[in-house]
Structure 1
Amino acid sequence: MDIKRIVMAGGVLATAGAIGFVMQNGESAKARYASAPVPDITGTQSDPLEVTDIKLTSASSKAVATEAVVDAEPMSKDVAEAIKAPAEKIVEPVVRTAALGDTALPSASEALTEEPEIAGPASLCSITMDAVTSAGAMVDVSLKADCYPNERVTFHHNGMMFTHATDRDGNLDLSIPALSENAVVIVAFANGEGALANAKVPSLADYDRMVVQSKAKSNLHINAFEFGANFREDGHVNNKSERTIEDAEQGLGGFITVLGDKAQGEALIAEVYTFPTNSSQAQGDVHVSVDVNVTVANCGLRIEAQTLEVSRAGKMKVQDLTLPIPSCDAVGDFLVLQNLLQDLKVARN
């Protein structure tokens, strides 16, 4: 079957520079969360990228390089249009640890002799979360919330957000790629209850990380082409690759982590590409692009997403993306967004 690939050489986006914890689709975010101060996350503001070349290309389903461009029928006007929207800062949910600061109940005698006081509801739920540094500059997080079984929960870490759910006992264990050496992870339930944990991750200085995040229906995916690899060749790394943390630890190449549970309605999903720049056994360029699969869930929509890039120097670059998806007669095709994420140049140490 012939798969159409729309190569967007410059990307279609508006930027949001130094921001804190943010999420896509501003109105739904405001409806879901209460207002609270947003922590300051240091980042670098990027210049807006403009579409410089958009051509419809075709590729066989077996193997094709993303750069391949052939003459073809022009795209429709609404797909080619570059949509630029002002960055929108979304307020952080009120997160409080349950059972802290609750007022003790009065004794029976006190209740009979004293005037009753009107107090706010006390939380009876114990929520705890631990974070431990692990290999590959990852943070292993363990959440325990016994009175929130099978409950939707949102994780926040240095601007990255994703949605999961606890198990039937209220527990959830995750391995999260750290985006800062002092990694702070916040978890929030829909009612504002939550917890916080942190871990030191000094090994982050050995890696470069790139994140693309959006709602699950957006179907955005990172593709890395390491050292000249073409589509589906060895060295093409995506969310279906068998690359592991152990491979990165040995300097054999990068790996991708997918965060978020698509089974949760309107779930937030994040894909993270990690490359072991300091220990890589090969040298050269790593080309990174973002693909958008056109599906029944996203066709004809204008999707919002965000990219985060963390270099070994610890600096973060943040960009917001707004992209019109082709109409539903293009289901099965996909867009290739070039130059949205910065390519890596790996030199032997």
Structure 2
Amino acid sequence: MLWGKKILRITAAVAVAALAAHTAESQKGRGTTQSLVLTATERFAADRAAPTGIGADAVPPSASLGAPAQTPLGTLIGITPVAASAPAIAGDKCRPAMQLQAAPGAMILLSLSAPCNRSERIVLRHSGMAFATRTDAGGSARMLIPALKSDALVAVYLAESRLVLGKVTVPDAVSYARLAVTWEWPAEVELRATEGNRVLVATTASSAGEPPRMMSFGSPDVQSPVMAHVYSVPGRDLGDVSLLAELRITPASCGRTLRLGTVYAANGLTTTQERDVAVPLCGTAGDILLLKNLSPAPKLATPK
């Protein structure tokens, strides 16, 4: 009987020792895994802090495309994560693609395919001109935009801090003079051109025939609208046209300082300017401020 109890005690001690050894080994394994995760995280943070080859040289922090990139981008379009953002969602099927083609009238035909950005807001920039629009239900967008330079660099900003860049050559861009006016909500601006007895207002450019002299870009119904109007004429300058921007005073804009951007393109060169416009205090809603001398520097006139 005593011998049997001793055997049981010895067996129990061995079992406890084995269990303790197994637990220690398990804890050791988990500790190693956690260390590897921390090392990978620290390495990823270090990689993000280190500058990459495409970074600020190709896309300045302001996302302005007024200055050419130091490294030619070629005619193929690629996608570059901004600030080392996460890889493409769900693999390559979400990778956007953009095609740029020179069109008659010194225009650029842009075709965008973004399968994972359906019915979403996008922002397009070219040589200082910018506007916001929306992809269709299939994630596509197709539009004509005026070339402000012969070597036209175009950028499309998508959700998830993603950017699509492209470059196309438009030889006849030097044969046109253009003025683009860009603004953001809550500004409401209407660009008008007076040519003799004719007053032109902005319309949407179409692929049928010569583009209109006054073109409108942007969708006012997207979140944080960005709009642009462009006046365009063949020749080395704008001629004798009288250009006037009407800024409507609304409850959303009164008493605020709004930013208005202009891009003047002629003879293959562009001049980009940004001006702050102080809108009168609330109580004058419905009035209009006239912005004259838009080529190249707008000045504030008295309310209309």
Interval of TM-score (by shorter of Structure 1 and Structure 2): 0.5 to 0.7
Alignment-derived partner of residue 275 in structure 1: 233
Cα gap change, 1:148 to 1:240, in 2 (>3 Å): closer
Choose which of 268, 276, 287 in structure 2 pairs with 1:314: 268
Alignment-derived partner of residue 279 in structure 2: 325
- Residue 236 of structure 1 and its aligned partner are, at CA, apart by 1.1
User: Cα deviation per residue 1:39-66 (whole Å; 9 max; x = unaligned)?
Assistant: 599xxxxxxxxxxxxxxxxxxxxxxxxx
Cα gap change, 1:288 to 1:277, in 2 (>3 Å): same
Alignment-derived partner of residue 113 in structure 1: none
Ranked by relative contact order (alpha carbons within 8 Å, sequence separation 6 or more), the top structure is 1
- Residue 36 of structure 1 and its aligned partner are, at CA, apart by 4.6
User: Cα deviation per residue 1:165-194 (whole Å; 9 max; x = unaligned)?
Assistant: 111111111111111101121112131223
Alignment-derived partner of residue 69 in structure 1: none
Bigger-Rg structure (1/2): 2
Q: Which residue identity does 1:255 align to in structure 2?
A: R
Q: Tell whether the 8 Å contact from 2:175 to 2:235 is kept in structure 1 after alignment.
A: yes
Cα gap change, 1:295 to 1:340, in 2 (>3 Å): same
The answer to whether structure 1 residue 258 and structure 2 residue 216 are counterparts is: yes
The answer to whether structure 1 residue 305 and structure 2 residue 260 are counterparts is: yes
- Residue 289 of structure 1 and its aligned partner are, at CA, apart by 2.0
TM-score normalized with structure 2 length: 0.65
Choose which of 81, 90, 94 in structure 1 pairs with 2:62: 90
TM-score normalized with structure 1 length: 0.57
Q: What is the CA–CA distance in structure 1 between the aligned matches of 2:176 and 2:129, rounded to whole Å? A: 17
Write the mapping of 1:209-224 to structure 2, written as runs, cut at 5 A: 209-224=178-193
Cα gap change, 1:240 to 1:151, in 2 (>3 Å): closer
Q: Tell whether the 8 Å contact from 1:131 to 1:142 is kept in structure 2 after alignment.
A: yes
Choose which of 159, 164, 178 in structure 2 pairs with 1:190: 159
Q: What is the CA–CA distance in structure 1 between the aligned matches of 2:164 and 2:151, rounded to whole Å? A: 17
Q: What is the CA–CA distance in structure 1 between the aligned matches of 2:255 and 2:98, rounded to whole Å? A: 40
Secondary structure of the 2:283 match is helix
Write the mapping of 1:119-134 to structure 2, written as runs, cut at 5 A: 121=87, 123=89, 124=91, 125-134=94-103
Deviates more, 1:301-310 or 1:217-226: 217-226
Q: Which residue identity does 1:183 align to in structure 2?
A: A
Choose which of 37, 40, 50 in structure 1 pairs with 2:56: 37
Q: Tell whether the 8 Å contact from 2:117 to 2:159 is kept in structure 1 after alignment.
A: no
The answer to whether structure 1 residue 165 and structure 2 residue 134 are counterparts is: yes
Secondary structure of the 1:37 match is helix
Task: Give the helix-richer structure, 1 or 2.
Answer: 2
Gap regions ≥5 residues in structure 2: 1-53, 66-76, 298-304
Alignment-derived partner of residue 19 in structure 1: none
Q: What is the CA–CA distance in structure 1 between the aligned matches of 2:275 and 2:185, rounded to whole Å? A: 15
Q: What is the CA–CA distance in structure 1 between the aligned matches of 2:208 and 2:150, rounded to whole Å? A: 18
The count of residues paired between Structure 1 and Structure 2 equals: 226
Fraction of identical pairs, as percent: 27
Gap regions ≥5 residues in structure 1: 1-34, 42-88, 100-119, 230-234, 249-253, 344-349
Alignment-derived partner of residue 289 in structure 1: 244
Moved beyond 3 Å, runs of 4+: 38-41, 120-123, 240-248
